[in-house]
Every structure is written in C-alpha cells, then in structure tokens.
C-alpha cells in the first residue's frame, strides 16, 4: 500500500500516537522492532500557534524514524491550517527530520479534548470535521491522513458515510478505532464497520484498523477477516514494543516467536533509558522513563520493592544498577 509517495510493505503495522507514551525514545525502540509507520504524540494546534514550548518540542523527529507523521488536533479551522503549515515546516522550526505526512486527530476521547469539540468531539460536527480536513489538505503539500472513531455514541455511528466524505476532502489514508467516543477504551472494539468501509466500492484510499490488537494471532485474524490495508497498535505496545516483531514474524511465517526473556528486556530497558536521556537530558529523560521501566517487567514475581526503585530513582547510574539486578535476580 501507499500513502501519497510513501510506500509500505504488505500488511504494514503502525504505532498509534499516545500522549506521554510515544515520545521520540519510545518511537526509537518501536522502530527497532519493526514498526512500519509512527506518529508523534498529538500536538495542539492552539499550542503551536501560541509557540508553546511543549507543543513545539513534540514536532521534533529524527531521520531513523522515517516514515513518521506529525499529528495535530484542534477545533478552530484557521488554527488547524496554521498548525499544519508549521508541521510541514518543522525542520525549519525545531530541526530534525520533520514530517512525511500530517495526521489529523479526530479520535482522542479524553474529556479535556473531546468536551471542547476537538479530537473525537468532532464526531458531533461531521460537517465541520470535513471542512477542517479540506482546509488542511489544501494548505499543505504533504499527504494528509485522519484518525477517528466509529461515531460519538451507539446511536450515531456515522463512520461509513463519513469515510467517503473525508476521502472526497482529499485525505490519503484513514485510520479508524473500532469504538465510539462514549465507549472511551471500554468494551470490545467493533471492527465490523471498518470492514464495511473496505467493502465500499467508492473507497480507494488505504484503511487502517485500530483497537484491541494485542497478539500476533489477532492481528492476522483481523487482516484476513476485515481486509484492512494496515493495522495500528496502541496500548498493547506499552511495556511490549517488541509486539511489532512478534506480529511481523507470525504474518510472514505462521509461527510464534518465543517469549522475550528478562535478560533481553533488561537490555532493551537500558537502550530505551539511554535514548530518553540523550533526547531529553538527564532529569527529564529519567523522569519520563519511569513508567516504561516498570511496564517492561510487569508480572515478575516478588517485584514490588524493585519496581518501587525503578519508579522513584532519579540517578541514571542507580537505575542502570537496578536494571542489572533485575537481570541477575529474574533473568
């Protein structure tokens, strides 16, 4: 499949953008394990046009991440256009690789975003969603894609018709999370409407399915059952970025890889920590790694005391020594 001029192998795997998770260091390890496409954490259009430091910093990407998309969100058309233009010029603004495409977030369900009409809040205003999309497409030369949900609630699952309208507005790929906004992340993702989008003879852009993909077997089943062009994986990558390698191996061979050993996870945690410090500096790099370090070792017996160290230590050398201990004790 292709998105604009970006070429992908058959059945590509995408890393979902997740706030406070998919920063540059996490994207680094996901790319290492075979993620075909990645995105920045979502960037506020209002924050960009106000020159908010945090929003600008999120646009920084690196050559090793390519292809990578900068994802923006907001509900003011003019601000979204300005943000898209800034994302397109990210190398001039913040340096780095920049964006290979611009993705519009019409899917985030959290209250502080959706309740003010951004993210999945746009599912209540499909006309405005299409208007913003068309304005962004017309404003930039990069491919524009959209990520959204089935609808606002059970009584307003508008995605099949909306997919056509977004395609007509000029997007070059569509990612659909198989839940409504009202579901948040509860219940089981329903991919049947994603399959109906693929069955629509008018649709010609790639359709990427998202929601509840947490194993190689499920990834293959959903590729086969719903005919999607790609699959996006979000929460299942947290503490488990090697899921991309596991799924790819299963898709290619039909065989499951052995579970990743504690020793291998320790080595990964060290690489991830080093990259986080390199990208963000020692203080912030350590602070923002804590959630990942504990997640890498979820389920180990008698781990409470060691986990507490991983989420409270601030000295990198002490963290590396603690990780060595994890390898010695549980490896």
Catalytic residues: 108
Residue 72 pairs in a beta bridge with 43, 104
Q: Tell me the CA distances in angstroms from 253 to 107, 125, 216, 247, one per residue in order.
A: 33, 44, 11, 10
Picking from 143, 235, 130, the residue whose alpha carbon sits closest to that of residue 189 is 235
Contact between 37 and 68 under an 8 Å Cβ cutoff? The reply is yes
Indicate the pairing of strand 68-73 with strand 38-39: parallel
Q: Which of helix, strand or coil describes residue 100?
A: coil
* Separation of alpha carbons 224 and 96, rounded Å: 37
Closest CA to 76 of 115, 132, 8, 139: 132
Q: Give the Cα separation of 24 and 13 in Å (integer).
A: 18
* Cα(95)–Cα(26) distance, integer angstroms: 19
What is the C-alpha to C-alpha distance for residues 12 and 251, in angstroms, rounded to an integer? 10
Question: Which residues, in sequence order, are bridge partners of residue 235?
Answer: none
């Amino acid at each position: 499949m292709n998105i604009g001029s970006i070429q992908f192998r058959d059945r590509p795997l995408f890393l979902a953008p997740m706030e406070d998770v998919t920063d540059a260091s996490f994207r680094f390890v996901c790319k290492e394990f075979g993620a075909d496409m990645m995105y920045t954490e979502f960037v506020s259009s209002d924050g960009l046009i106000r020159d908010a430091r945090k929003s600008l910093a999120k646009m920084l990407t690196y050559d090793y991440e390519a292809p990578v998309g900068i994802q923006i969100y907001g509900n003011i058309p003019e601000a979204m256009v300005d943000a898209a233009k800034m994302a397109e010029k990210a190398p001039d603004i913040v340096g780095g690789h920049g964006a290979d495409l611009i993705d519009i977030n019409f899917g985030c369900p959290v209250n502080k975003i959706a309740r003010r009409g951004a993210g999945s809040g746009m599912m209540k205003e499909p006309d405005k969603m299409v208007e913003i999309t068309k304005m962004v497409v017309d404003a930039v030369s990069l491919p524009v894609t959209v990520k959204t949900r089935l609808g606002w609630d059970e009584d307003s699952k508008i995605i099949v018709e909306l997919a056509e309208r977004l395609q007509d507005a000029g997007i070059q790929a569509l990612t659909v999370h198989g839940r409504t906004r009202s579901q948040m992340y509860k219940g089981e993702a329903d991919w049947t409407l994603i399959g109906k989008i693929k069955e629509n003879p008018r649709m010609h852009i790639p359709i990427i399915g998202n929601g509840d993909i947490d194993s190689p077997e499920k990834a293959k089943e959903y590729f086969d059952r719903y005919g999607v062009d790609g699959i996006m994986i979000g929460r299942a990558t947290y503490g488990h970025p090697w899921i991309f390698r596991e799924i790819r191996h299963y898709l290619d061979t039909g065989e499951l890889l052995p579970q990743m050993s504690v020793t291998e996870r320790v080595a990964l945690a060290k690489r991830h920590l080093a990259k986080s410090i390199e990208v963000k500096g020692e203080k912030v790099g350590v602070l923002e790694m804590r959630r990942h370090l504990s997640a890498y070792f979820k389920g180990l017996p008698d781990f409470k005391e060691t986990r507490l160290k991983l989420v409270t230590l601030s000295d990198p050398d002490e963290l590396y020594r603690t990780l060595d201990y994890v390898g010695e004790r549980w490896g």
